[in-house]
Structure 1
């Protein structure tokens, strides 16, 4: 069956309506695109761009805002023909360059009027620099030819806030800018996680000291070399090497014929004294009864006195030998400790025959020791009796404080030095004789107006620096060092009191700088 005429007409009419609607949609899209393009590039947009360029040229922000009274701040975005930073105020412009010639950085400036360079005759420019350390520097620029050049050298690092002021025959001007050359960028979180301690420079007492090599020795005032004082044979030894002994403790027993003879002499004298005493008492009684004459009493009294002297003489002989007057055995001789101490030497054994001058024991009281040192003639004026010292061990981490107790009056012919010593308390026995030490003699202690922690000093290009804390990191500040001790270092110049700096962990900041995080450019 063929389609009718009416159905064919309806199909053609539907297709025409579809194409018409599609054409309207396409036309709407094209018209919208044209409207948007016109809005972004039309007069209003061009006017906004002109205002933005004018604001940037005058040192303001992108919305056309400017600083009051002609003061402008720039981050060296605009460059002049000579490669310097360009500051603009209306028709007037200033180009400023920090140039390094012959290793001495100095400021140079050029003046422009309507982009044409003008002679600086009759004009003046000065720059005031304020560094993070608080140090201020005033720089005067002097006209030379078609430019102005600074008289003062701008020291490294070039990190500062700068205020530029000047006057031309027609107007005055004022600009401001900042530089952060050499800055090590570190956030507060990075500083904390790296273990960097930030402290503040302040006044402190600095102790001037000089070190001398020394050695721990026995305190000879409390060291005894024990000798028997009599010859004999050793019956027994009760003290061992290294043993702690008490005063009066028996160290060894010796059988001695010399002691036996003196002790026998004492006993004989004691018997004669008893007999003389009895005779004297009897004669005295007879004389009182008028039976015997007084002459007999006096003779008996003299005999008694002589017997008493003999007893005392024999007793003193035994005491001089170190032997007890009373003993169950005539020849028994006991060696005893003269004071509390340690047996540091032992040269005696049971059954051994010893002489009266043999050094059989050495006992030392190690509760105190001597730190001895050799002082050259030129250093003797700094080492005086009573001077405070600090003794440091060369083998382990230990220190002790004391004072100089002796300085020798003679200088050795071979060494050309004098001996000095320090008496140290040694309650724990840590200072052992023979130990090498360093003796630090404190010469003086004075107040320094500016000091930093000794851990803060680093070296860059063979010059000492302190990393000063600034906003967002640190900058290396060259300093001149003065006196120092183990804790603080005096800063003679380059830093003032009250400035935060990297103390503990400053080497981390230096390593970050070495990685190239800080740049150097003029």
Structure 2
């Protein structure tokens, strides 16, 4: 129990220490950071091999991101058709993209889109007039490395992206009431003097238990009224020495089953159907309950909401009529080919991302998102099925990437 209670605190302290270390590292790296690569007139990276100079740029104005290359030799422009060029991008997980180039105007244009993230080892091979030139450099962004022992200590959790069933719900509020047919009102068949009251207010009784003994005015003989059901005495208007007087002497309510009365407003009413599954949260109780909608009132309440009724099993007598309750009513359920947990989502530049994990390395995956329901968010693009991604404590990965100051190099 002590370990269970201390674990969140320990994770928080480790994360705090890690973030402090990250801030220190960033300050240190600021003094020893790599120089910015030399840029050309098209804002691309300049790569030099003697007098042979190649400018490699990612262009994305008005087109999907693509590589374009301009070449100089001895300070003079080289015709693009005179150069054979191949660029290889090696991504995290040893995913390789090979890009070939064709002449266009005064530059060479790559034949494939440079999809996000723009994080890879770049290898360039050029052939001009029988002379070969080669360069290689790292162009990493949104990537970091955290040793497995450190990740475990900080409780960084991962899952595999894949199929999921999204359950869409609407939230509603209400209270617990007895079922409409759960109450029995007790009165005497024959009038007489009440001699004994066997059950007290609030007492739990079983079917057949004695409730009241009455001495008949007509026969002068005593008879006993027994409980017709299992339940609880919810009202008592009988005292020894009183006349029964044809009135209600006692009420018994069966509490083994109760009803949750939930208010649903008209904007959501058409989406709720009889039989829909409902998750119920009772104030003061940790464990959730489940049930199904068994009735929807046709008439609106004064607040213009419809009453939706859900039967609750209360065989263990842990619930009481009058308790306030919250209900999540299922209105739609659908399977999607790939989804991620909402807790893993983070912001990176202008994107919503998760962090893919390959070995001890973590890297952003820019997502195109679809529908959201509960803990899940549908993924329409940017993540392959089966990718291991960070769920809990993804903020730690975000902090470590941000402290490294990795840029988006075009």
TM-score normalised by structure 1 residue count? 0.59
Q: CA RMSD in A?
A: 4.1
Tell me the SS of whatever aligns to 1:430.
coil
CA deviation after TM superposition for structure 1 residue 397, in Å: 1.9
Match of 1:481 among 340, 363, 369: 369
Aligned-partner Cα distance in 2 for 1:129–1:420? 58
CA deviation after TM superposition for structure 1 residue 246, in Å: 0.9
Matched residue, 2:73: 113
Tell me the SS of whatever aligns to 2:217.
helix
* 1:385 equivalent in alignment to 2:342: no
Task: Provide, for residues 240-278 of structure 1, a one-character-per-residue CA deviation record: whole Å limited to 9, x for no partner.
Answer: 2332101121122344xxx432xx4xxxxxxxxxxxxxx
Task: Provide, for residues 470-503 of structure 1, a one-character-per-residue CA deviation record: whole Å limited to 9, x for no partner.
Answer: 4543223232333444454322222111111112
Cα pair distance change 1:388/1:124, threshold 3 Å? farther
Aligned-partner Cα distance in 2 for 1:169–1:218? 92
The 8 Å contact of residues 186 and 251 in structure 2, kept in 1 or not, is answered as yes
The 8 Å contact of residues 362 and 397 in structure 2, kept in 1 or not, is answered as yes
CA deviation after TM superposition for structure 1 residue 194, in Å: 0.8
Aligned-partner Cα distance in 2 for 1:454–1:351? 68
Task: Provide, for residues 298-331 of structure 1, a one-character-per-residue CA deviation record: whole Å limited to 9, x for no partner.
Answer: xxxxxxxxxxxxxxxxxxxxxxxxxxxxxxx43x
Match of 1:222 among 170, 182, 187: 182
Cα pair distance change 1:130/1:490, threshold 3 Å? farther
The 8 Å contact of residues 169 and 374 in structure 2, kept in 1 or not, is answered as no
* 1:517 equivalent in alignment to 2:404: yes
Matched residue, 1:96: 56
Matched residue, 1:260: 217
Note the 1:21-32 alignment, pairs <5 A.
none
Looking at secondary structure, tell me which structure has more strand per residue.
2
* 1:336 equivalent in alignment to 2:295: no
* 1:207 equivalent in alignment to 2:167: yes
Matched residue, 1:506: 394
Structure 1, unpaired ranges of 5+? 1-74, 265-328
Matched residue, 1:319: none
Aligned-partner Cα distance in 2 for 1:79–1:97? 12
The 8 Å contact of residues 254 and 333 in structure 1, kept in 2 or not, is answered as yes
Task: Provide, for residues 348-394 of structure 1, a one-character-per-residue CA deviation record: whole Å limited to 9, x for no partner.
Answer: 44445554233x43322222211222333443443222233322334
Matched residue, 1:160: 120
* 1:439 equivalent in alignment to 2:327: yes
Looking at secondary structure, tell me which structure has more helix per residue.
1
Greater Rg by CA: 1
Note the 1:74-473 alignment, pairs <5 A.
79=38, 81-82=40-41, 84-87=44-47, 92-98=52-58, 107-120=67-80, 132=92, 157-162=117-122, 177-228=137-188, 233-255=193-215, 259-261=216-218, 264=219, 329-330=220-221, 332-352=222-242, 355-358=245-248, 360-408=249-297, 410-412=298-300, 414-460=302-348, 463-470=351-358, 472-473=360-361
Aligned-partner Cα distance in 2 for 1:133–1:220? 63
Aligned-partner Cα distance in 1 for 2:317–2:242? 33
Tell me the SS of whatever aligns to 1:382.
coil
Aligned-partner Cα distance in 1 for 2:142–2:254? 61
Cα pair distance change 1:347/1:87, threshold 3 Å? farther
Cα pair distance change 1:111/1:492, threshold 3 Å? same
TM-score normalised by structure 2 residue count? 0.73
Aligned-partner Cα distance in 2 for 1:134–1:232? 94
Question: How many residues matched?
Answer: 374
Structure 2, unpaired ranges of 5+? 1-33
Aligned-partner Cα distance in 2 for 1:362–1:137? 79
